[in-house]
């Protein structure tokens, strides 16, 4: 067996989620090769070479890969895939975008967002917004898999000494082009890797009121998320959404503020180690999953909490 892990990065640094994907690759077994595709991504390849358990790094440095366009990356990975039994990518918007193309080009199924490795052919994955866990077995010779990062403990970023091989495979399908991007700028930790996440829901009332959560988050070094209701109401941008259709988080501490706890939201945070819910409605379903519930007006409780920490 041999596993190809697709590295997630921004051409400058390796995204930590890749360390969790390598952990999943280790659970499958066999040699682990990391593919870094991008533009001017040599530093990322060097970083990947140090990751514990990685035996080889392939670096495809080309203009066509700068923005991770699925058409080009899909063609590249499908070509490189020949030597591997498993092709793994993170279940991020990048991985979800190109991996099914690779599977289709190889004429194999994709197994999406695995949360556990049973054996080299068998995996667990959440279905129905996490309301059921399916154990699935693939009969394909090659497996294309996306990995839920929060379900695997990251391997060490240091300790490995893999070789880096530059590969000269230029795939430019010429059918898509990058126009631009608006990335949320925040000094707060990224939601999926934050140790503490504080999320606000419809109960926040408006976007300005999220200020009290930002203030508390900055004191705790926390990331700030939101429920779909808060996003739909226009309080905050969609990249803050935690849930079935947003981000999946599993921090040490998750604080749900003014969130009722729809199953679609719970799907995104119920694997958190400790859950705190602050809501004035004592009947809110969020209290059924919370380790500590506080029935209170959030506009009093959050500032008080802030002052006492």
Partner 1 sequence: MKVLVPIKRVIDYNVKVRVKADNSGVDLANVKMAMNPFCEIAVEEAVRLKEKGVVSEIVAVTIGPKAAQEQLRTAMALGADRSILVETDEEVQPLGISKALKAIVDEEKPDLVILGKQAIDGDNNQTGQMLAALTGMPQGTFASEVDVADGKVKVTREIDGGLQTVELTLPAVVTTDLRLNEPRYASLPNIMKAKKKPLDTKTPADLGVDLTPRVTTEKVEAPAERQAGIIVGSVDELVEKLKNEAKVI
Q: Which of residues 14-33 bind partner 1 (CB under 8 A)?
A: none
Please, which residue, 161 or 179, has the CB nearer to partner 1?
179
Residue 259 is assigned to a ligand binding site: yes
Spatial separation of the C-alpha atoms in residues 11 and 62, rounded to whole Å: 11
Only segment of 37-45, 163-171, 198-206, 298-306 that touches partner 1 (CB under 8 A): 298-306
Q: Among residues 49 and 242, whose Cβ is nearest to partner 1?
A: 242
* Tokens representing residue 271 in the block: 């694997």
Residue with tokens 């009332």: 205
11-15: Cβ within 8 A, 24+ apart: 11/38, 11/39, 11/40, 11/41, 11/44, 11/66, 12/43, 12/44, 13/43, 13/44, 13/47, 14/44, 14/47, 14/48, 14/51, 14/157, 15/90, 15/92
Closest approach, Cβ 34 to partner 1, in A, equals: 20
279 is annotated as contributing to ligand binding? yes
Asked if 282 touches partner 1 (CB under 8 A), the answer is yes
Among 53, 228, 256, 298, the residue binding partner 1 under the rule CB under 8 A is: 228
- To the question of whether residue 188 is assigned a binding role by annotation, the answer is no
* CA torsion through residues 167, 172, 176, 180, sign: positive
DSSP, collapsed to helix, strand or coil, labels residue 241 as: strand
Nearest CA among 267, 212, 268, 251 for reference residue 235: 212
According to the binding rule CB under 8 A, does residue 172 interact with partner 1? no
Q: Give the residue, chosen from 82, 175, 187, 283, that forms a contact with partner 1 under the rule CB under 8 A.
A: 175
Residue span binding partner 1 (CB under 8 A) among the ranges 30-38, 46-54, 162-170, 285-293? 285-293
Phi, psi of 217 (to 5 degrees): -60, -40
> Contacting partner 1 (CB under 8 A), which of 127, 165, 211, 297?
127
- If the CB atoms of residues 26 and 247 are measured against partner 1, the closer one turns out to be 247
* 101 annotated among ligand-binding-site residues: no
Residue pointed to by tokens 């990356």: 73
Query: How do beta strands 56-61 and 163-166 pair?
Result: parallel
**111 lies in the binding site for partner 1 (CB under 8 A):** yes
Task: Name the segment binding partner 1 (CB under 8 A); options: 24-32, 160-168, 176-184, 204-212.
Answer: 176-184
Binding residues for FAD: 202, 227-228, 241-245, 258-265, 279
């Amino acid at each position: 067996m041999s596993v190809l892990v697709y590295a997630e990065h921004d051409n400058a640094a390796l995204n930590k989620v890749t360390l969790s994907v390598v952990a999943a690759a280790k659970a499958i077994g066999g040699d682990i090769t990391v593919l870094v595709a991008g533009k001017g991504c040599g530093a990322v390849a060097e970083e990947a070479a140090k990751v514990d358990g990685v035996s080889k790094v392939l670096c495809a440095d080309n203009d066509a890969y700068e923005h991770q366009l699925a058409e080009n990356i899909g063609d590249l990975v499908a070509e490189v895939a020949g030597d591997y039994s498993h092709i793994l990518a993170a279940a991020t918007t990048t991985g979800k975008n190109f991996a099914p193309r690779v599977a289709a080009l190889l004429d194999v199924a994709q197994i999406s967002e695995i949360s556990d490795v049973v054996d080299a052919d068998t995996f667990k994955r959440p279905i129905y917004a996490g309301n059921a866990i399916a154990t699935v077995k693939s009969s394909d010779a090659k497996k294309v898999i996306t990995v839920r990062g929060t379900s695997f403990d990251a391997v060490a970023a240091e300790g490995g000494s893999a070789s880096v091989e530059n590969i000269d495979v230029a795939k430019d399908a010429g059918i898509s082009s990058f126009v631009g991007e608006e990335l949320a700028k925040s000094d707060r930790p990224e939601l999926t890797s934050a140790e503490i996440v504080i999320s606000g829901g419809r109960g926040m009332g408006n976007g300005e009121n999220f200020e009290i959560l930002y203030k508390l988050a900055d004191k705790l070094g926390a990331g700030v998320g939101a429920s779909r209701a808060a996003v739909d109401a226009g309080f905050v941008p969609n990249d803050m959404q935690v849930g079935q259709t947003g981000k999946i988080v599993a921090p040490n501490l998750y604080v749900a503020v003014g969130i009722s706890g729809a199953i679609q939201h719970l799907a995104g945070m119920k694997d958190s180690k400790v859950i705190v819910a602050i809501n004035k409605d004592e009947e809110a379903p969020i209290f059924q999953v919370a380790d500590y519930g506080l029935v209170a007006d959030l506009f009093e409780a959050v500032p008080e909490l802030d002052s006492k920490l």
